[in-house]
Structure 1
């Protein structure tokens, strides 16, 4: 059995950031951008940043959030890649710093085995409370993957991502694949699209025998 962990946004789907896109949908990006700059300047931790963002959407409905989540499109080749992986006895994890409403939809549709993402809290009327459960921050993607490795004991662990917060996963994986990476993000392999990711994995499996 093998294990593969994917970042979500910018890797499997065309959304770049759940947080940014919901800010733009709800007209709160000016304040959201300010909070982002404060976080990257080290003024507060990730959990505080996530809560500040979510507080700007208080009273918005789950239906509004899902309208956005259901509109996000996949990159070409994703279904073929996941089928290829399942046929080769891979356990598939999606580990996203984005929002669970999108990650769960993708995980369900693509039949991923594990889905980790950040969770907005809704009240009994389906409205955002302003609270958030920050399961995946900028540093702990590697911790999540390490936990899965220890639990599953796979023969091979692969990580695929594009952003700086994926580097922690790359360090834990046996093999890393950077797909259209941000500047400064490097993996053992570089891919331009998911078709190339599939080719690289095929090559790795052949080499491993």
Structure 2
């Protein structure tokens, strides 16, 4: 049995950031950009940042959030890749610093085995309370993958991502694949699209046999 962990946004789907896209959709990006700048300066931790962001959407409905989540498109090649992985004995995890409303939809449609992402809290009327459950921060993607690896004991662990917060996963995996990576993000392999990711994994499996 093998294990593969994917980042979500910028890796499997064409959204770059749930947080940024919802800010722009709801007209809260000015304040959102300010909070991001302050987080990266070290003024507060990730959980505080996530809550400050979510507080800007207080009163927005689950329907409004899901309208965005359901509009996000896949990158080409994702269905072929996931079919190949399932046929070759992979357990598939999606580990996203984005929002669970999107990650769960993608996980369900692609039949991923595990989905981790940050969760907006809704009240009984289905409105955003301003609270958030920050399950995946900028540092703990590696911890999540390590926990999965220790639980499943796979023969091979692969991580695929594009951003700086994916480097923690890369360090835990046996093999890392950077797909269209941000500057300064390097993996064992570099891929330009998901078709190339599939080709790389095929080669890895062939070399192991």
Matches within 5 A, 1:98-177: 98-177=98-177
RMSD (Å), alpha carbons: 0.2
3-state SS in 1 of match to 2:159: strand
3-state SS in 2 of match to 1:178: strand
- Partners in 2 of 1:102 and 1:114 — Cα distance? 14
Is the counterpart of residue 48 in structure 1 residue 30 in structure 2?
Answer: no
State the TM-score, normalized to the length of structure 1: 1.00
Summarize deviations over 1:94-118 as a string: whole Å, max 9, x none: 0000000000000000000000000
- Partners in 2 of 1:30 and 1:53 — Cα distance? 11
Summarize deviations over 1:147-192 as a string: whole Å, max 9, x none: 0000000000000000000000000000000000000000000000
Is the counterpart of residue 181 in structure 1 residue 181 in structure 2?
Answer: yes
- Partners in 2 of 1:114 and 1:204 — Cα distance? 23
The offset of 1:48, in angstroms, is: 0.1
- Partners in 1 of 2:201 and 2:28 — Cα distance? 40
3-state SS in 2 of match to 1:199: helix
Mind listing any 5+ residue stretches in structure 1 that lack a counterpart? none
3-state SS in 1 of match to 2:129: strand
How many residue pairs get aligned? The number is 209
- Partners in 2 of 1:70 and 1:114 — Cα distance? 19
3-state SS in 2 of match to 1:181: coil
State the TM-score, normalized to the length of structure 2: 1.00
